[in-house]
């Protein structure tokens, strides 16, 4: 595997693990400042990228180890790029931007979908908090908790609870807690999606009933249910956000059934906006350009999508989670009170170009 060199990182075979023909899993390690990066690849084409022992990407679509390494190394290079750009490798604890104008002071909201510091939900949470809002944060399960907890701590989140939308009663428990603690709610950020691998990575024409139902359930219906639970708490109005993607409008290679779910989600936004508008509750879909997050690592050839986005977008730039966060936070401000039912593209203008 001599060609497995990176132009940005010096990957070395982990001597603690067997490497070579007979080895089942091969692991490569590299350092980036004080961070330790590790890639492991299995012969059947599964690969992981870990930073300081924490998994940040997982791929299982490549046909063999060689392709798995190439793909996961690209993700690692993106990771390096992103972290160089934001300089976060030098920080030990996540920091929030120092914003003087607390434009969202007094507002309280729920952020669902932080998995780690690459999550779009984390970009949103940072922006809302920096602008003075208080945020409640959820984590999907105990495995995720240890990654989300330091972020919730940085956000000074007064409510930090488990929420797996597949677990009956957990969503209700979160809203009950909010009612008890705050007695009101000003915004919700729904930043979750899920599709079983066979459904996501296959053709839409082949999708099973179960794959379709799960995709729609987690990625779309849960937004409807959150709106339902938020409505009585938004006594003086509020804003509901969900995350969509351009693959809802155009056929984007490898986006498959998730495109169908996002189309339903954007339509849901319009119906909810119409129904809840008279109560001062606004509803938006935010449609970011591609971002190298954990969820995105389930989409084959995601790197090609990033390259295309950068080359085609009028801004000639990829978006960051902070770009998404501030634009979302703007829509929660009272100044945006007459904007509702939108799908707002935060993609450097990509969607306007043929």
Ligand X SMILES: NC(=O)c1ccc[n+]([C@@H]2O[C@H](COP(=O)([O-])OP(=O)(O)OC[C@H]3O[C@@H](n4cnc5c(N)ncnc54)[C@H](O)[C@@H]3O)[C@@H](O)[C@H]2O)c1
Binding track over 219-258 against ligand X, x by CB under 6 A = ------------------------x-x-------------
Give the separation between CA 219 and CA 232, rounded to whole angstroms.
23
Binding track over 86-125 against ligand X, x by CB under 6 A = ---------------------------xxx--xxxx----
Closest CB 100 distance from ligand X, rounded Å: 28
Among 50, 58, 279, 294, binds ligand X (CB under 6 A): 294
Residue 110's SS3 state is strand
Among 140, 230, 260, 326, binds ligand X (CB under 6 A): 140
Does 348 contact ligand X by CB under 6 A? Answer: no
- Tell me if residue 245 is catalytic: yes
User: Starting at the edge strand that comes first in sequence, how are the strands of the sheet with 26-32 ordered?
Assistant: 12-13, 26-32, 35-41, 47-51, 54-59
Taking the least distance from each CB to ligand X, the nearer of 80 and 115 is: 115
Catalytic residue of the set 61, 79, 139, 245:
245
Give the separation between CA 10 and CA 39, rounded to whole angstroms.
12
Length of the chain in residues, anyone?
A: 354
Backbone φ and ψ for 156, nearest 5 degrees, come out as 55, 40
Give the separation between CA 119 and CA 341, rounded to whole angstroms.
24
Binding track over 152-171 against ligand X, x by CB under 6 A = -----------xxxx-----
Residue 242's SS3 state is strand
Taking the least distance from each CB to ligand X, the nearer of 132 and 221 is: 221
For residue 56, what is the enclosing H or E element?
Answer: strand 54-59
Among left, alpha and beta (phi > 0; psi -120 to 50; other), residue 131 is alpha
- In the DSSP assignment, the letter for residue 328 is H
- Tell me if residue 61 is catalytic: no
Confirm if 234 and 281 have CB atoms less than 8 A apart.
yes
Among 45, 196, 288, 300, binds ligand X (CB under 6 A): 288
Size of the site for ligand X (CB under 6 A): 27
Q: What does the binding site for ligand X look like in residue numbers (CB under 6 A)?
A: 113-115, 118-121, 140, 144, 163-166, 191-194, 218, 243, 245, 288, 290-291, 293-296
Active site residues: 245, 255
């Amino acid at each position: 595997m001599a060609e497995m060199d990176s132009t940005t990182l010096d990957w070395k075979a982990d001597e603690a693990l067997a490497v070579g023909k007979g080895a089942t899993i091969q692991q490569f390690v590299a350092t980036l400042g004080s961070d330790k990066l590790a890639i492991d690849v299995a012969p059947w084409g599964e690969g992981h990228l870990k930073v300081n022992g924490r998994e940040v990407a997982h791929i299982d679509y490549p046909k063999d180890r060689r392709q798995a390494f190439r793909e996961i190394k690209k993700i690692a290079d993106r990771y390096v790029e992103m972290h160089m750009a934001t300089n976060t490798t030098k920080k030990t604890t996540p920091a929030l931007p120092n914003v003087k104008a607390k434009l969202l002071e007094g507002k309280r909201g729920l952020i669902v979908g932080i998995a780690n510091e690459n999550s779009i939900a984390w970009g949103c949470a940072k922006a809302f908090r920096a602008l003075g809002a208080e945020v409640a944060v959820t984590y999907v399960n105990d495995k995720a908790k240890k990654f989300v907890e330091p972020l919730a701590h940085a956000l000074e989140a007064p409510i930090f609870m488990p929420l797996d939308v597949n677990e009956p009663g957990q969503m209700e428990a979160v809203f009950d807690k909010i009612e008890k603690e705050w007695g009101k709610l000003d915004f919700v950020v729904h930043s979750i999606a899920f599709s079983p691998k066979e459904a996501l990575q296959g053709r839409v024409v082949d999708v099973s009933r179960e794959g379709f139902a799960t995709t729609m359930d987690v990625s779309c219906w849960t937004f409807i249910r959150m709106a339902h639970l938020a409505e009585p708490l938004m006594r003086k109005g509020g804003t509901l956000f969900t995350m969509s993607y351009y693959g809802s409008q155009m056929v984007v290679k490898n986006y498959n059934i998730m495109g169908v779910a996002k189309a339903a989600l954007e339509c849901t936004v319009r119906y909810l906006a119409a129904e809840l508008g008279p109560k001062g509750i606004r509803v938006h879909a935010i449609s970011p350009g591609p971002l190298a997050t954990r969820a995105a690592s389930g989409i084959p050839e995601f790197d090609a999508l990033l390259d295309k986005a950068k080359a085609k977008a009028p801004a000639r730039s990829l978006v960051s989670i902070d770009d998404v966060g501030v634009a979302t936070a703007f829509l929660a401000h009272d100044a945006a009170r007459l904007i509702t039912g939108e799908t707002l593209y935060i993609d450097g203008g990509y969607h306007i170009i043929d």
